Homo-oligomer: A and B are copies of this chain.
Amino acid sequence: MRGVVMHGAGDVRVEDRPDPVIVEPTDAIIRVSAACVCGSDLWPYRGLEPVTEPRPMGHEYVGVVEEVGDQVTTLRPGQFVVGSFWASDNTCEICRAGYQSACVHRVLMGTIGTQAERARIPLADGTLVATPGVPADDLVPSLLAASDVLGTGWFAAVAAQAGPGKTVAVVGDGAVGLCAVLAARELGAERIIAMSRHTPRQELARHFGATDIVTERGAEGVARIRELTGGLGAHSVIEAVGTQESVMQSIGSARAGGHVGFIGYHGEVPVEELFYSLVHLHGGPAPVRRFLPELVEAIWHRRIDPGAVFDLELPLEEAAEAYRAMDERRAIKALLRP
Residue A281 interfacial (CB < 8 Å) = yes
Q: How many copies of the chain does the oligomer comprise? A: 2
Cα distance, A265 to B276, chains bound together (Å): 8
- Contact B256–A264 (Cβ < 8 Å): no
Q: Given A102-B257, A269-B271, A281–B284 Cβ distance below 8 Å? A: no
Q: Which residue of B lies closest to A242 (CB)?
A: B271
Q: Which of A2-10, A93-101, A202-210, A328-336 interfaces with chain B?
A: A93-101
Which chain A residues (73-105) contact chain B, with CB distance < 8 Å?
A: 93-94, 97-99, 101-102, 104
Cα distance, A275 to B94, chains bound together (Å): 16
Residue A270 interfacial (CB < 8 Å) = yes
**Dominant SS among interface residues on chain A:** mixed
Chain B residue contacts of A104, Cβ below 8 A: 231-232
Residue A282 interfacial (CB < 8 Å) = yes
Q: Which residue of B lies closest to A284 (CB)?
A: B278
Residue A219 interfacial (CB < 8 Å) = no
Chain B residue contacts of A255, Cβ below 8 A: 94, 102
Contact mask for chain A residues 265-294; partner B; CB cutoff 8 A; 1 contact, 0 none = 111111110111111111111010000000
Which of A264, A271, A287 has the most chain B CB within a 10 Å cutoff?
Answer: A271
Chain B residue contacts of A279, Cβ below 8 A: 282
Q: Which residue of B lies closest to A101 (CB)?
A: B278
Contact mask for chain A residues 41-56; partner B; CB cutoff 8 A; 1 contact, 0 none = 0000000000000000
Cα distance, A104 to B232, chains bound together (Å): 8
Q: Which residue of B lies closest to A276 (CB)?
A: B284
Which chain A residues (85-131) contact chain B, with CB distance < 8 Å?
A: 93-94, 97-99, 101-102, 104
Residue A71 interfacial (CB < 8 Å) = no
